Structure 1
Amino acid sequence: MKRSAVDASPWSSPLISVIIPVMNERRTLARVIREAKRVHPGTEVIVVVNGSSDGSLQIARDSGARVLVFDRPLGHDVGRSVGAREALGQILLFIDADMVIPASQLRPFVDAVKNGTDVALNDYSGPTRQESVHGVVLAKHALNSLLDRSDLMGASMTAVPHAISRKALETIGAASLSVPPLAHTMAIHSRLVVQRVKHVDVGTLNPLRTRRERHHSLEPLIVGDHLEAIQWLVSHTDNRGGYEDGSRQRWMVR
């Protein structure tokens, strides 16, 4: 896969790296970058342009971002890993290019990491007061329960915005960010400080995405990501994921 050179960064040692994967998001990209820059004076904005053909690349460059360019789509969430690998900041903030979130709503995630949180999550659980609950919502709640973190409810690294510390990145590795529930599981299993920080209702921020996903649902992909996370948890604990087997004398019937 062809990749261009990285555009020069205007910051020698930024405190914050805001990472934005982009594929054909010219409608919102300039505004997203503008709000990202307002998060903190020491911010670098890393835009991972992949498989774009609508002028997003030029918008990113004109906006003064550090730009990583790939000629083909990287696939769901891989841009997060690529951007994190190149990030120079001590705090990494992840947002999407198709949602314009004001800087005032992004700063609490950065502030939480400044104050000792390793993974600062969007306090967004998705719609739960329904007779038929979406599979992704169920998967997020179930995974947190398995991790003995029911207090997180449906909050997860699946949802933006969220921020992580440099310590968290070094602990779980940039590659894990391509599968957000896996990164989430690794962070909790590693006893990093993972907290719900602020509610940002991403479900209503992008109606175009919502309509698009009615026809091309990401539910199977994201539920599969959660199953991959559970598989990792079992492989790093035991066959019961660390849960007790009680007084069951299995050897009696073998």
Structure 2
Amino acid sequence: MNGVPNGKKGPKEPAKGRKVAKNGRISDVDKLENQDRLSIIIGVEQDEDTIVKVLKQAEKLCPLEIVVVVHGSHDRSLEHVLAYSASPVLRVFAYPYALGEDVWRAIGAREAAGDVWLFLGAEQIVAAQQLQLFVRSCYRGTDIALRQAHAFPASEKIGQDPVELAKCFLNNLLERSELGSSSMGDLPFAMTREAAASIGAHHLFVPAVAQAIALQKELRVTPVRTAKERVSAKAAKAEQARDSTSALTDLGDHLEALSLWQAQAKDK
């Protein structure tokens, strides 16, 4: 796989592609390519209020398949997924116990048949034309397309959020400072099957480690600018609760990534 030197940006999104997204449409060319190449992987837990809307947006991309991993759900999320009969490309994998924050990604990747994978969280509704930006970036040479992190206001100190600081530190350490706090820990993001094979698909359950390996191998990792999604008060409250419980896990993941970097640096 061809790479680009660390510190170099990946391919830019062509103006034509941006115009299509701005107009709220996905081109027929994109849809045809999606039908042959795209696997959408969705992690679902307590998401009964949003999962159907997420599936509808995913279906608009006309993908090869939609792989849904439901785990540890105590509400009606699984019932809503199984009742969703609009898509013949839906594949459902259900686990009665919680898999953890990111293990579902590795499970979905193991089952995916496409050569481009788009990872989504069922708690966040992202418009189909915004999702297509990640996919199109992979079609045009990117190995991993990350959501561009929103810039911090000048008055806000990034140090106030240790997880964001850890993301920035990891990217800086691996000479990709222009990525800011863009991270494989944040959804949505897309990647190619070849990139996953290079990283090791089993590493996807620890996003920080997967990103560290990708950057060390000089894969094309590109931030994708998207419109800021509207989030309901209920969804925002749920997201805040998730953030508070996963912050320590995220920091631990970044420590594991740093440990990996140190070990490999010593071997050189």
- TM superposition score category, shorter chain reference: 0.7 to 0.9
Q: Distance in 2 between matches of 1:71 and 1:80?
A: 17
Question: What code does the residue aligned with 1:142 have?
Answer: F
Matched-pair contact (CA < 8 Å) for 2:101–2:246: no
Identify which of 80, 102, 117 aligns with 1:59: 80
Match of 1:31 in 2: 53
Which of the numbers 68, 80, 83 marks the counterpart of 2:108? 83
Task: Report % sequence identity.
Answer: 34
| Superposed CA RMSD | 2.1
1:1-254 equivalences under 5 Å are 14-39=36-61, 41-63=62-84, 64=87, 65-125=90-150, 127=152, 129=154, 130-131=156-157, 133-201=160-228, 206-213=235-242, 216-238=244-266
Distance between the aligned counterparts of 1:45 and 1:54, measured in 2? 21
Using a 3 Å threshold, how does the CA distance of structure 1 residues 48 and 17 change in structure 2: closer, same or farther? Answer: same
Q: Residues of 1 paired with 2:202 and 2:230: CA distance?
A: 26
* Residues 127, 137 of structure 1: 8 Å contact kept: no
Structure 2 vs 1, CA of residues 119 and 185 (structure 1 numbering), >3 Å: closer, same or farther? same
Distance in 2 (alpha carbons) for counterparts of 1:86 and 1:235:
31
Counterparts in 2 of 1:232 and 1:202: CA distance versus 1, 3 Å = farther
Rounded Cα–Cα distance in structure 1 between residues aligned with 2:148 and 2:64: 23
CA deviation profile, 1:27-64 (whole Å, cap 9, x unmatched): 0000001101112x233111101111322112212224
Secondary structure, in 3 states, of the residue corresponding to 2:265?
A: coil
Instruction: Note the C-alpha offset of 1:204.
Output: 5.1
- Output the TM-score relative to the length of structure 1: 0.82
Distance across 2 between alignment mates of 1:221 and 1:211: 15
* Alpha-carbon offset, residue 192 of structure 1: 1.0
The structure showing larger relative contact order (alpha-carbon pairs under 8 Å, at least 6 residues apart) is 2
| 1:191 to 1:32, Cα distance in 2 relative to 1, 3 A | same
Contact 2:40 2:63 in 1 (8 A): no
- The SS at the match of 1:116 is coil
Aligned equivalents of 1:179 and 1:126: distance in 2? Answer: 24
SS of the residue 1:58 aligns to:
helix
Q: Deviations over 1:152-194 (max 9, x none)?
A: 1111111111100111111112211111111111111112111
Question: Aligned AA for 1:29?
Answer: I
Deviation at 1:127, TM superposition (A): 4.2
Cα offset, 1:133, TM superposition: 2.3
Could you say which structure has the higher helix fraction?
2
Change (3 A) 1:203 1:217: farther
Rounded Cα–Cα distance in structure 1 between residues aligned with 2:129 and 2:189:
14
Deviation of 1:225 (Å): 0.7
Structure 1 CA distance for aligned equivalents of residues 46 and 238 of structure 2:
13
Aligned length: 226
Tell me, yes or no, if the aligned pair for 1:143 and 1:226 is still in contact at 8 Å: yes
